[in-house]
């Protein structure tokens, strides 16, 4: 039987803590009484905006939230941090996570995303922590790539369609191998797209909700997008990080799909986001000529820019989360329509309050 209450006093190490999932996971772990160590990259400007509210002054006695500079491309740095923290749980969320960018930076993406996972697993071995440190790997529905079967589940064959997905494929299998070879408690979460008001601004949902808010407020003339026909299974990030934690609370390591089981076209998400700022869109044309028109004014608010097309695309993702429901007791709660509304409202709030803060 898994004891879900025995978290207080545990130590977790989170890579990618400054990202969307890292921020939600850090909040969750702190609320459960963990001491959380996070790895952040050195940057010429602040990159800790998502975790500022949980930041603790390192001068306080026994801080529960501790940051370390590091990078998944730097083995010695990772070994030193793991040695220092002696973590009960390691969540490897760090990645060059943008699929389109991976076509431009394939070698770096492989280094950070594929070999990065290997470096952390090796750090655990080198330090003799195989029996102490449980390991979570941020695997992805991008592994499924070219459609082999729908809905996609743990047994569906992989067919990666980008340098990002190919790198994550290596990470997935090295986790399975280290589990089998060395008896490590190492699990893959095969997570379908999850979004939130903390989502990076260049991923499609956030790009859309920010643009809808900006267009409503007269701060942006139109929105340029790529493939409007892609279909994604979008859930709420806050709910997905709970699934990551649940995977590491199980007696046995394993691999799980987290998904909603509902898929939505990019075009429909755009329609909803504009609806949420009071603009009804009509769609006209097809392919690169497609446009989203404001029904009230006739203005073109959405256009297609082929620069956002990917050399190879993942057209359809829809996940089957049955195993996670049955084995972990996990299921998503927020429907995609409500997720879109939450993101639009938060982007409106940010844009409406930003100038006031600037004036102040």
Q: Which residues bind ligand NDP (CB under 6 A)?
A: 15-16, 18-22, 39, 41, 43, 47, 71-73, 93-97, 112, 138, 140, 191, 193-194, 200
Which of ligand GDR, ligand NDP, none does 230 bind, CB closer than 5 to 8 A by kind?
Answer: ligand GDR
Interatomic CA distance for residues 345 and 73, integer angstroms: 37
Which is nearer to ligand GDR, 90 or 99 (by Cβ)?
99
Which of ligand NDP, ligand GDR, none does 204 bind, CB closer than 5 to 8 A by kind?
Answer: ligand GDR
Please list the alpha-helical segments (H only) found in the chain: 20-31, 75-85, 99-104, 106-109, 116-126, 163-182, 204-216, 237-249, 266-275, 322-323, 336-359
Which of ligand GDR, ligand NDP, none does 321 bind, CB closer than 5 to 8 A by kind?
Answer: none
Which is nearer to ligand GDR, 74 or 303 (by Cβ)?
303
Which of ligand NDP, ligand GDR, none does 260 bind, CB closer than 5 to 8 A by kind?
Answer: none
- Is 322 noted as a catalytic residue in this protein? no
Which of ligand GDR, ligand NDP, none does 232 bind, CB closer than 5 to 8 A by kind?
Answer: ligand GDR
- Bridge partners (DSSP) of residue 291 are 284, 303
Q: CB of residue 101 vs ligand GDR: minimum separation in angstroms?
A: 9
Q: CB of residue 340 vs ligand GDR: minimum separation in angstroms?
A: 13
Which is nearer to ligand GDR, 246 or 266 (by Cβ)?
266
Interatomic CA distance for residues 130 and 178, integer angstroms: 10
Q: Which residues bind ligand GDR (CB under 6 A)?
A: 97, 99-100, 140-142, 193, 202-204, 207, 225-227, 230, 232, 266, 308, 310, 313-314
Q: Which tokens in the block code for residue 217? A: 């407020």
Which is nearer to ligand GDR, 34 or 240 (by Cβ)?
240
Q: CB of residue 300 vs ligand NDP: minimum separation in angstroms?
A: 30
Q: CB of residue 75 vs ligand GDR: minimum separation in angstroms?
A: 23
* Residue number with the smallest Cβ distance to ligand NDP: 19
Query: At a CB cut-off of 8 Å and minimum separation 6, what does 134 contact?
Result: 88, 89, 90, 185, 186, 187, 248, 253
Burial class (CB in 10 A: 0-12, 13-18, 19+), 73: middle
Which is nearer to ligand GDR, 128 or 306 (by Cβ)?
306
- Rounded to 5 degrees, φ, ψ at 212 are -60, -45
Give me the catalytic one of 18, 140, 156, 205.
Answer: 140
Which is nearer to ligand NDP, 72 or 263 (by Cβ)?
72
Query: At a CB cut-off of 8 Å and minimum separation 6, what does 210 contact?
Result: 201, 347, 351
Q: CB of residue 336 vs ligand GDR: minimum separation in angstroms?
A: 13
Which is nearer to ligand GDR, 54 or 266 (by Cβ)?
266
- Is 140 noted as a catalytic residue in this protein? yes
Interatomic CA distance for residues 241 and 245, integer angstroms: 6
Interatomic CA distance for residues 57 and 239, integer angstroms: 28
- Rounded to 5 degrees, φ, ψ at 333 are -120, -45
- Is 69 noted as a catalytic residue in this protein? no
48, 204, 354 from 24: Cα distances, Å: 13, 20, 23
Which of ligand GDR, ligand NDP, none does 202 bind, CB closer than 5 to 8 A by kind?
Answer: ligand GDR
Burial class (CB in 10 A: 0-12, 13-18, 19+), 2: exposed
Contact 158, 190 (CB under 8 A): no
Q: CB of residue 171 vs ligand GDR: minimum separation in angstroms?
A: 11
Q: Which tokens in the block code for residue 70? A: 């590091």
Give me the catalytic one of 24, 34, 109, 142.
Answer: 142
Give me the active site residues, please.
140, 142, 164
């Amino acid at each position: 039987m898994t004891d879900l209450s025995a978290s207080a006093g545990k130590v977790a190490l989170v890579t990618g803590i400054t990202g969307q999932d890292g921020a939600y996971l850090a909040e969750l772990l702190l609320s459960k009484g963990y001491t959380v160590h996070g790895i952040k990259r050195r940057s010429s400007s602040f990159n800790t905006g998502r975790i500022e509210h949980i930041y603790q002054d390192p001068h306080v006695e026994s801080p529960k939230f501790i940051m370390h500079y590091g990078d998944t491309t730097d083995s010695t740095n990772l070994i030193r941090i793991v040695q220092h923290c002696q973590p009960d749980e390691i969540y490897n969320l760090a990645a060059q996570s943008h699929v389109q960018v991976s076509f431009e930076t394939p070698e770096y993406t492989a280094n950070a995303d594929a070999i990065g996972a290997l470096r952390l697993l090796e750090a655990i071995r080198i330090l003799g922590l195989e029996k102490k440190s449980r390991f979570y790997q941020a695997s992805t529905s991008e592994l499924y790539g070219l459609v082999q079967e729908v809905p996609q589940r743990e047994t569906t064959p992989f067919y990666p369609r980008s340098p990002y997905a190919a790198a994550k494929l290596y990470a997935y299998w090295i986790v399975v191998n280290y589990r089998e070879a060395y008896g490590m408690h190492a699990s893959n979460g095969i997570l379908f797209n999850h979004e939130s008001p903390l989502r990076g601004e260049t991923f499609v949902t956030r790009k859309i909700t920010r643009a809808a808010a900006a267009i409503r407020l007269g701060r942006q003339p139109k929105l340029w997008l790529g493939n409007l026909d892609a279909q994604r299974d979008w859930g709420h990030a806050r709910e997905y990080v709970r699934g990551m934690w649940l995977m590491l609370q199980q007696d046995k390591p394993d691999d799980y799909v987290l998904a909603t089981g509902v898929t939505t076209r990019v075009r429909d998400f755009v329609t909803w986001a504009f609806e949420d700022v009071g603009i009804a869109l009509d769609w006209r044309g097809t392919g690169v000529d497609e446009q989203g028109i404001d029904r009230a004014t006739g203005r073109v608010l959405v256009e297609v820019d082929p620069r956002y097309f990917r050399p190879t695309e993942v057209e359809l993702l829809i996940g089957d989360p049955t195993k996670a429901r049955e084995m972990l007791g996990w299921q998503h709660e927020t429907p995609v329509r409500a997720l879109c509304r939450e993101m639009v409202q938060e982007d409106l709030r940010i844009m409406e309050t930003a100038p006031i803060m600037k004036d102040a």
